[in-house]
Amino acid sequence: MTYTVENINFKSVPEIKKCLSYFKTENLYNVEASDFERFIDDLINNKSIDFGKKEKFDSQINQNLHMLDFYWGHDHDFGSFSVNGLMGTRHIWLLSRFLDSFYLDKRKLINSNDILDVGCWTGGVSLVLSQLANKANITSIDEIYKYTYALDFLANSFNVKNIKADNTSLYDIRVRDKFDIVFLLGVLYHISDPIIGLRRIFNSMKPGGVLCLESMSVNSSKRIWEYEGPSVRNGIFGWNWFIPSPKALEQVLYDTGFVDVKVGNGLQDLKVTNDIDPLGPNRVFAFALKDGNHQICKAGLSVDIT
Ligand X SMILES: C[S@@+](CC[C@H](N)C(=O)[O-])C[C@H]1O[C@@H](n2cnc3c(N)ncnc32)[C@H](O)[C@@H]1O
Residues found near ligand X in the complex (CB under 6 A): 66, 73, 87, 90-91, 118-119, 121, 124-125, 141-144, 147, 169-171, 185-187, 190-191
CB of 140 to ligand X, least distance (A): 9
CB of 86 to ligand X, least distance (A): 8
Residue 200 or 290 with smaller CB distance to ligand X: 200
CB of 175 to ligand X, least distance (A): 15
Residue nearest to ligand X (CB): 119
121: left (phi over 0), alpha (psi -120 to 50) or beta: left
Measured CA to CA, the distance from residue 56 to residue 171 in angstroms comes to 14
Type and span of the H or E element at 13: helix 13-21
CB of 120 to ligand X, least distance (A): 6
Residue 180 or 214 with smaller CB distance to ligand X: 214
Residue 28 or 249 with smaller CB distance to ligand X: 249
Measured CA to CA, the distance from residue 98 to residue 38 in angstroms comes to 35
Question: Residue 145 burial by CB count (10 A; 0-12/13-18/19+): exposed, middle or buried?
Answer: middle
> Which residues are CB-neighbours of 228 under 8 A, at least 6 positions away?
241, 242, 243
CB of 233 to ligand X, least distance (A): 17
- Give the alpha-carbon dihedral of 34, 38, 41, 46, to 10 degrees: -170
CB of 169 to ligand X, least distance (A): 4
- Per-residue buried b or exposed e for 265-278, using 16+ beta carbons within 10 Å of the residue's own CB: bbbebebbbeeebb
Residue 28 or 210 with smaller CB distance to ligand X: 210
Residue 134 or 169 with smaller CB distance to ligand X: 169
Check if the beta carbon of residue 164 is closer than 8 Å to that of residue 139. Answer: yes
Measured CA to CA, the distance from residue 73 to residue 127 in angstroms comes to 12
Residue 28 or 85 with smaller CB distance to ligand X: 85
